[in-house]
Amino acid sequence: MSLALRTKRLMREYRHMTADPPPQVRLQSHENLGKWEVVIQGATETLYAGENFTLQFTFPEAYPLEAAEVVFVNNVPVHPHVYSNGHICLSILYQHWSPALTVETVPPAGDSNYVKQAKVSPKDAAWRFDGMFTPMCTL
Amino acid sequence: MDEDYDDYEYSEDESVVSISSSANSHQGHARTRATAAAAAAASQATSASQSQAVAQTQSQGQYSADFGYDEDEDEDFFGDDNDFDRAMGARPTKKAWAVDFKVYDPDGLRVTQKDTIDRMVPVLAVSRDTTTLLLRCYLWREEPLVEDFIADPERTLAKSGLSVHPAASRIESGNDEFTCEICYTSGAEEEYLSLSCSHSFCTDCYATYASGKIREGESWRIRCPAPKCKTLLGEESARLLLAKHKNVLERYEDNLTRSFVNDLDSFTWCPAPNCQYAIECLVPRSAMTTVIPTVNCKCGKAFCFGCKVDDHMPAPCYLVEKWQQKCKDDSETANWLKANTKECTKCKSTIEKNGGCNHMTCRECQYHFCWVCMGPWDEHGQQFYACNRFNEDSSKNARDSVSKSRAMLERYLHYYTRYNNHEQSVKLARQLLATTEKNMEQMQREMTLSWIEVQFLSDAVDVLSVCRTTLKWSYVLAFYMSADNQKIIFENNQSDLEMATEQLNELVENPIGQWSIEEIKRKIIDKSTYVKSRWETLLSDTSLGLQEGRWQFEC
């Protein structure tokens, strides 16, 4: 049941992404149905204007009940919620995932506000310190 | 009743009662003497044959009642639990150290939840499902819930992810417009469910989603799958969804009960492996410095409600925690330090000498001293490496100052050794039980006694292990207790119990020997009764003492 659901759902999302993608987002490649690369253009008037970033989506077998694995590859943006290895610190990609979220609606691809969260001063960000050496910030 | 026994029993008892009641005046003493005499007379009158009477009470479960195992009582709670026993004339009044508690099996827990909900539905005047969710959100605290709800029902509901007029949860179909946001199936034939937030998803997706959450241990905190929607999936809707998934539904009900016990401070699970009972106890956290809420699960486990550690009477929880931490940190280290090190007489740094001569230079304070006599090195003059100055004043002083800090270590080890001995003995008592069973069989074979007639042996072993556990923790209490007259009284009680326990242990270990079976039986029963009375004295004295703040604790 679950694999059929996954296929059906991904086919549908794929059709959407090719036919009517959100602004400044396009599906670049898909090796197979389970691994997509999505390119987002840096929004104008932000730190990221003029740059392109690639997000890699890997869909597990239990998708959409389980979250897709989403990371930045190649050019990793400088952003308070993104680690230099491309991992994204965003709760809805992990414990707050909801099966009704899609590739289009998951930030940073789906939410243009996401890029605006790169604050000019670190004092404007809400930091949470997990242990001694791993500062994490919350939305 | 044996004359000899009588004198022995009550004269001992009397002396201790008078101590533990801590009445220094003559009046107090005289009164206890009179009481003891009266008790002696009464018991003489009632029991025609001492051993017979005791054997009977033992087999009637007197022991278990005394030690707090409430085997017969399921529903009684708070005070009225004596009715049955009062009717039977068996149960003495409540012990000073006993706390009220109630053991629930999973069905009992379900009934308790149901009763609370039933009580609240008419008060809140909302649907049963909503009431249940509200109660769970408020962690079953009825008063704040009612206050908040009366003040502002809409806000209270919204805070808990509910709405004022929730649509009755039912599975719908026949809507052409419907598309499931999870699997994108659409059409009039699709069955779907929506909560009060009106996010609808097809029943298959919903059920799979809920099952996943339930397998993760969730119950009432499952939310609507729509992103950022905070609406909670009520029990009715969950039962509708999972009607076809019997296993998941069972798991869901289990999780609900589990969260009921976890959410409430006055409930806890029995920590014994595979035990499914939960215990309710209303002793507040703040009282646990003076009260030790020891509860007995129906599975036989005795544990402290406050810290979930095995029965640790008479030491209160905070001392137990301190002690366990100390033992973890210190015990082996302290033993090693004692055997291998000395302390610098000036700065008290601990020093291990692992070679070289006796001229020591402290790394910490650069003090020069002699390892042999511990005195300052300067005074050794020309007699390097050959110390014969044992009683020189300065070296004597130096040794004295070191001995003070060593005394602390010695003190700790004194209590630790005894604590540890009793802990080991409790373990040995379990082996003793096996030997005892063998002895009991032997007795049955050789002396043609019936099974019931040899039960006194295993009862005695039970008494032994309970007393050893109490003794073990009594050393923890003594370790932290400041030395004063009150402590001496405590220590007298403790040593009486310890002595009696050891004597009983000896009797039980080797019951078949020089005496006849009747004699052994009488001796063991007499001794266990005595040990039990010492045990009660120690516990009631310490529990009263803690409540009165009789002792000062150094920690």
Interface residue of A5, A95, A96 to substitute, partner B, most B CBs within 10 Å: A5
pLDDT digits (tens, 9 = 90+) for B348-375: 778 887 777 777 888 888 888 887 777 7
| Contacts of residue B148, Cβ cutoff 8 Å, sequence gap at least 6 | B138, B155, B156
Contact B209, B233 (CB under 8 A): no
| pLDDT value, residue B514 | 67
pLDDT band at B287 (very low <50, low <70, confident <90, very high): confident
How far apart are the CA of B193 and the nearest CA of chain A, in angstroms?
Answer: 14
Q: Please indicate whether, in this complex, the C-beta atoms of B205 and A5 are within 8 angstroms of each other.
A: yes
Residues of chain B contacting A1 with CB distance shorter than 8 Å: 204, 208
| A5 interfaces chain B, CB cutoff of 8 Å | yes
| pLDDT value, residue B166 | 61
What's the whole-number mean pLDDT along residues B441-449? 76
Contact B367, B361 (CB under 8 A): yes
| pLDDT value, residue B533 | 93
| A90 interfaces chain B, CB cutoff of 8 Å | no
Q: Which amino acid, B192?
A: Y
SS3 (DSSP) at A95: coil
User: In the numeric block, which tokens belong to residue B554?
Assistant: 């150094």
Q: If contacts are CB pairs under 8 Å, which of residues 171-190 in chain B contact chain A?
A: 181-185
Residue B531 has pLDDT above 90, yes or no: yes
User: In the numeric block, which tokens belong to residue B165?
Assistant: 């007029």
Residue B47 has pLDDT above 50, yes or no: no
Provide the CATH number for the domain formed by A2-137 in this structure: 3.10.110.10
In terms of pLDDT, which residue wins out, B222 or A135? B222
Q: What's the CA gap between B412 and B322, in Å, rounded?
A: 13
Residue A75 has pLDDT above 90, yes or no: no
User: In the numeric block, which tokens belong to residue B252?
Assistant: 């869901």
Chain B's closest residue to A101, CA to CA, is B227
Give the pTM. Answer: 0.64
Provide the CATH number for the domain formed by B317-343+407-548 in this structure: 1.20.120.1750
What's chain A's average pLDDT?
A: 75
Choose among B199, B209, B228: nearest Cβ to A65. B209
Q: Please indicate whether, in this complex, the C-beta atoms of B208 and A64 are within 8 angstroms of each other.
A: no
pLDDT band at B518 (very low <50, low <70, confident <90, very high): confident
How far apart are the CA of A57 and the nearest CA of chain B, in angstroms?
Answer: 17
| Inter-chain CB pairs, A–B, below 8 Å | 42
Spatial CA neighbour of B460 closest among B432, B421, B496: B432
In terms of pLDDT, which residue wins out, B389 or B6? B389
pLDDT band at B84 (very low <50, low <70, confident <90, very high): very low
Spatial CA neighbour of B446 closest among B506, B509, B513: B513
The answer to which of B114-123, B226-235, B377-386 has the lowest mean pLDDT is B377-386
Q: Please indicate whether, in this complex, the C-beta atoms of B182 and A9 are within 8 angstroms of each other.
A: yes
Chain B's closest residue to A93, CA to CA, is B227
How far apart are the CA of B182 and the nearest CA of chain A, in angstroms?
Answer: 5
∠ CA B325-B326-B328, rounded to 5°:
65
Q: Is B343 exposed, middle or buried (0-12, 13-18, 19+ CB in 10 A)?
A: buried
Q: What's the CA gap between B320 and B299, in Å, rounded?
A: 24
| Strand-pair partners of B304 | B294
SS3 (DSSP) at B330: helix
Residue B36 has pLDDT above 60, yes or no: no
Q: Please give the distance of CA B425 from its chain centroid, rounded to a whole number.
A: 19
pLDDT digits (tens, 9 = 90+) for B464-499: 989 999 999 999 999 998 888 888 999 999 999 999
Highest mean pLDDT among A10-19, B81-90, B169-178: A10-19
Q: Please indicate whether, in this complex, the C-beta atoms of A99 and B209 are within 8 angstroms of each other.
A: yes
Residues of chain A contacting B181 with CB distance shorter than 8 Å: 100
| pLDDT value, residue B32 | 38
Rg (CA), chain A: 15
| B226 interfaces chain A, CB cutoff of 8 Å | yes
pLDDT digits (tens, 9 = 90+) for B539-549: 999 988 888 88
What's the whole-number mean pLDDT along residues B289-295? 88
What is the secondary structure of B144-200 as a DSSP string?
HHHHHHHH-HHHHHHHTT--SSPPPP--B---TT-B-TTT--BSTT--EEE-TT--E
| B7 interfaces chain A, CB cutoff of 8 Å | no
| pLDDT value, residue B411 | 86
Q: One of A71, A89, A90, A101 is an active-site residue; which one?
A: A89
| pLDDT value, residue B168 | 61
Choose among B181, B184, B208: nearest Cβ to A65. B208
| A9 interfaces chain B, CB cutoff of 8 Å | yes
pLDDT band at A109 (very low <50, low <70, confident <90, very high): low
Q: Please indicate whether, in this complex, the C-beta atoms of A100 and B184 are within 8 angstroms of each other.
A: no
Residue B529 has pLDDT above 90, yes or no: yes
Highest mean pLDDT among B132-141, B166-175, B366-375: B132-141
What share of chain A in percent tops pLDDT 70? 74
| B230 interfaces chain A, CB cutoff of 8 Å | no
What's the whole-number mean pLDDT along residues B277-282? 91
CATH assignment of B107-263, among 3.30.40.10, 2.60.120.380, 3.50.50.60, 3.40.50.300: 3.30.40.10
Spatial CA neighbour of B377 closest among B253, B121, B386: B386
What's the whole-number mean pLDDT along residues B281-308? 88
What's the whole-number mean pLDDT along residues B173-196? 82
What's the whole-number mean pLDDT along residues B383-401? 65
| A92 interfaces chain B, CB cutoff of 8 Å | yes
Residue A112 has pLDDT above 60, yes or no: no
| B549 interfaces chain A, CB cutoff of 8 Å | no
Q: Of how many residues is chain B composed?
A: 555
Neighbours of B38 (CB within 10 A): 10
| pLDDT value, residue B387 | 67
| pLDDT value, residue B279 | 92
Tell me if the bond preceding A80 is cis, omega within 30° of 0. no
What's chain B's average pLDDT?
A: 77
Q: If contacts are CB pairs under 8 Å, which of residues 478-537 in chain B contact chain A?
A: none
| A100 interfaces chain B, CB cutoff of 8 Å | yes
The answer to which of B34-48, B328-342, B395-409 has the lowest mean pLDDT is B34-48
The answer to which of A28-42, B228-242, B394-408 has the lowest mean pLDDT is B394-408
